[in-house]
Amino acid sequence: MLDWLRGKGPRSPSRGADGASDEELFDEEFQRRLDVLAIVSRRLVSGRSRAERRSKKTGSGIEFADHRQYSPGDDFRHLDWNLYARTGRLLLRLYEEEEDLSVYVLIDVSRSMAVGQPSSKLRYAKKLAAALSYIALANLDRVSVVTFADEVSERLAPTRGKNRIFKVFQFLRPLLAEGRTGTAEAMKTFVAQNRRRGVAILISDLYDPDGFEGGINTLRYHKFEPYVIQLFAPEEVRPPLHGDVRLVDNETGESRDVTITPRVLERYAKAHAEYRARIDDFCTQKHVPHHAVCIDTPFDEAVLDILRRGGLVT
């Protein structure tokens, strides 16, 4: 039954609900809820991220950092004259100032993300991505949205400013669940394409036949700060099936005839819980925040829980 954890299950008739015509996905009510989230969340950075945002720049910052020897051509306004009067040495004052944080929202758009009734995991992922993007944009961070299956498929170029959320909406609306899951290869492409490091928010069901570890480790090894949000549908925990059924893997087309009994469902539910626990254990060992979210949870409640428990609110 562990094969179900790779996206096996009945084909979902709600897959088309995530198409370009779904204009109500980000309606006025949704936008009002985003404003509330932006107010209560305060800051989409952890204390550790805040420290890593600083870079030493001469003169233009706020907080004193260090001195360095004067070189011809340096601005005289940055000389430390008090120190010169005491020591006779020409030294420049160096300051630290904050740079904008790069926030990458990585969305799994493989076919397994189409599962979910009446709303799919992909639809829920779009809402989470929009909310987290808006919070970052409201704090003047630099936001980019990237989609992937077994490779990086689409990318919204980095943007800043709260009003740019409408570009994010426009990017997210037409996304469809297509392709096979291949997180490790997709993340290799992502890190190669993005030299500027930052927070990488990975939104996925993590049903990867090659394992979930590779993609997360790739982000870690290349100095990104990953936050893993694992989505699952209620019917994936306890499928509404009984009797003789044919299960079809909606990514590979592979099928399997199975007789569903209460005992089989119990074994499957246990296997699914163990898989989620294995992901959580791995992320805990690697100091990577992990949040398993059932898509029947109101999205704004999920966002606040993610921010609070993940250390993203200061």
Model confidence band, residue 10 (pLDDT cutoffs 50, 70, 90):
very low
Question: Which pLDDT does position 145 carry in this prediction?
Answer: 98
The arithmetic mean of pLDDT across residues 51-76, rounded, is: 59
CA 81 – CA 102 distance, rounded (Å): 37
pLDDT exceeds 50 at position 57: no
The pLDDT of residue 97 is 53
CATH 3.40.50.410 fits 2-48+100-309, yes or no: yes
Mean pLDDT of 198-223: 96
| Burial (CB count within 10 angstroms: exposed 0-12, middle 13-18, buried 19+), residue 173 | middle
pLDDT (tens digit per residue) in 139-194 = 888 999 999 999 999 999 999 999 999 999 999 999 999 999 999 999 999 999 99
Which pLDDT value is given to residue 253? 83
The pLDDT, as a whole number, for residue 313 is 52
Decide if pLDDT at 85 tops 70: yes
Summarize the confidence of residues 238-265 as an average pLDDT: 89
pLDDT digit string, tens, across residues 225-239: 999 999 999 999 989
pLDDT beyond 80 at 14: no
51-55, 129-133, 304-308 — most confident range: 129-133
Q: What is the mean pLDDT of residues 118-131?
A: 95
pLDDT reported for residue 309 = 79
pLDDT of residue 49: 45
The mean pLDDT of 70-88, rounded to a whole number, is: 78
- Confidence check: pLDDT of 305 > 70: yes
Among the residue ranges 10-19, 167-176, 205-214, 242-251, the one predicted with the least confidence is 10-19
| Lowest mean pLDDT, pick from 19-23, 65-69, 202-206, 309-313 | 19-23
| 16 and 282 Cβ atoms separated by less than 8 Å | no
Domain ranges (residues) in the chain = 2-48+100-309, 54-98
In whole angstroms, give the CA distance from residue 204 to residue 106.
8
Average pLDDT over residues 77-93: 80
- For residue 55, what pLDDT is reported? 41
Which of 20-29, 242-251, 285-294 comes out lowest in average pLDDT? 20-29
List, in sequence order, every residue forming a beta bridge with 98; answer none if it has no partner: 54
Output the pTM of the full model: 0.79
